[in-house]
Structure formats: C-alpha cells, structure tokens
Amino acid sequence: MKKVVQIILWLLPALGLPVILGFANAEQNNVLCTGITVNIDNSDENFFVDETDIKEIIYSKGDSLIGSAVSLINCNKLEQLILKNPSIKDVQVYATVVGEVKADIVQRKPVVRIYNTIGESFYIDETGSVMPLSSKFSSRVPVANGNIRESLGGLSLFNVHKIESVDSLASKTLIDDIFAVVNFIEKDSFWKAHIQQFFVNEKNDIELIPMVGNHKIILGDKKDLDSKFQKLMLLYQKGLSKTGWNQYSIINLKFKNQVICTKKQ
C-alpha cells in the first residue's frame, strides 16, 4: 500500500503538468498587444533609422497590431519586413507576457564612402557589403574617390570577401583593396586620425591623402600593408620630423624594401 501511495504521488506532478501548460497557453492566447517598443542600437553614433521609421514599416502591412492577439502576431514575418531597410543589419521582434511587442534594431556600420566615376556614391559597411546612402543621415567615415568605376548596382551582387576569394573578380576591382586598407588604418589610432581620404589614380594605385602635410602617399594595392606603413612611420619619425612635413610632394611606398620620395620643386 505504501508503494502504491508513493507511485501516485510521483505521477501527480507529471499528470498535472499538461493541465498547467494548457491553462498557460489558453491564458497566453487571450493576451492582446498593448503597444510597440522600438530599441535602436546607436552605440556607433549612426542614426540611419529612428523609431518612426520602424513603426511605419510595421504599420505598412495594414495592421497597427494594437489590440491584436499576441499569439497571432507573426514576429518572423515582421523581422523580414524590417530587414528590407538597407540600413538595418539585424532585428529581433518578440512579444512579452504582458502584450508588448518589442523590436531590437542593429544598424549597419559603414567604414568608407565611395564616389565612383559615374557620379554615384555609396558606403561599404564593416561586413564588406555595399550600403546605399540614407536621406536621413550621413556617416562620418573616410572617403574614397578617383578612378573607381564599380557601380552600386554591380557591386550589390558581391560582398568584398567574395571578391577576394575569386581571382577573376579581384583582378577587375580595387574595392576589396580599399576595404582592406581602410580596415588596417581603422585599427591604428595614429593612422586613423592621420588618413581620412583615399584616391585611386590613373594607374589604379591607391593614394592616401594625409591630414598633415602637403604631400600624397602612393600605397599601390593592399599587399604588404604592415611593411608599407612601417616604412612610412620611420620616414615620419626620422625624416619629416626633422626636415618638415612639406619637404616632399610624393611619397611612394608601392615598391618593396624602399621608399621613393619626390622633392617639391
């Protein structure tokens, strides 16, 4: 008899669990949406979208959601709708137990702004993807211009990392080189403050336009960046710091193991 009692006591929680879950689900089905809260990560000081933009996207499907049963709100569908905005990198939409629908937004982070030869301008973001400009906000990032022929439409098919992995693509564009140089400079506080503009000349060499000094720096391509910038730093420390920042008109770093400087006339 004692064993029978023990078995019954052991079974009661298991038998009661479906009942409890059933009540919980029924209660959840009765919860109505009371409001929409939008949280946007602005930690990178980018303001491409705001709360109004996100709510307009949500409302564009013809339903305010307010007063709707939370159980009937398709959060995945809302996420896909919001991700169509080209300034948004990631979004999480979910409903709370009290009926509040929340949307957590992560914006894309540009690292360089491109100006091409046909008058287009666009960003490359931190993931290496093309990002169109926004009418709401302009990000303060380095600028690349000059002999850049790649169009916004053509590049939208390729991520920079895909370009790097296909030799036939990499040989036709300098976008991956510009992206590599920008990322290299971004990691060094001195170069980040010193170099804010990139120019592609008629020989398809990348030139750096420094903030201090009236000279241009011919970098070439993305090969041997560590060595090239080490040579430039040595020249700054042991050369220009003594002769003056305006001693040369051109500093050429593209050739291995040498720095070729052209004096001003």
Checking if the pLDDT of 209 tops 60, the result is yes
Per-residue model confidence as pLDDT tens digits over 81-91: 999 999 999 99
Q: What is the pLDDT of residue 253?
A: 96
Q: How far apart are CA 164 and CA 171, in angstroms?
A: 9
Per-residue model confidence as pLDDT tens digits over 30-69: 899 999 999 999 999 999 999 999 999 998 877 778 999 9
Compute how many other C-beta atoms are within 10 angstroms of the C-beta atom of residue 121. 14
Nearest to 120 by CA among 99, 101, 148: 148
Looking at residues 15-29, what average pLDDT do you find?
47
Strand partners, 210: 195
Dihedral sign computed on CA atoms, order 242, 244, 248, 253 = positive
If one compares 170 and 7, the residue with the highest pLDDT of the two is 170
Looking at residues 20-28, what average pLDDT do you find?
45
Q: What is the pLDDT of residue 23?
A: 40
Contact present, 67 and 35 (Cβ < 8 Å): no
Per-residue model confidence as pLDDT tens digits over 101-146: 999 999 999 999 999 999 999 999 999 999 999 999 999 999 999 9
Per-residue model confidence as pLDDT tens digits over 146-161: 999 988 888 877 788 8
Please report, rounded to a whole number, the percentage of residues in the chain having pLDDT higher than 90: 64
Q: Is the entire prediction scored with pTM above 0.75?
A: yes
**Domain locations along the chain:** 35-107, 110-263
Domain 35-107 has CATH 3.10.20.310: yes
Class of domain 110-263 (CATH, top level):
alpha beta
Q: What is the pLDDT of residue 9?
A: 55
Alpha helices in 30-140 (DSSP H): 51-59, 75-82
Compute how many other C-beta atoms are within 10 angstroms of the C-beta atom of residue 105. 25
If one compares 144 and 29, the residue with the highest pLDDT of the two is 144
Nearest to 74 by CA among 93, 89, 52, 51: 93
Q: What is the pLDDT of residue 236?
A: 87
Looking at residues 176-182, what average pLDDT do you find?
95
Checking if the pLDDT of 172 tops 50, the result is yes
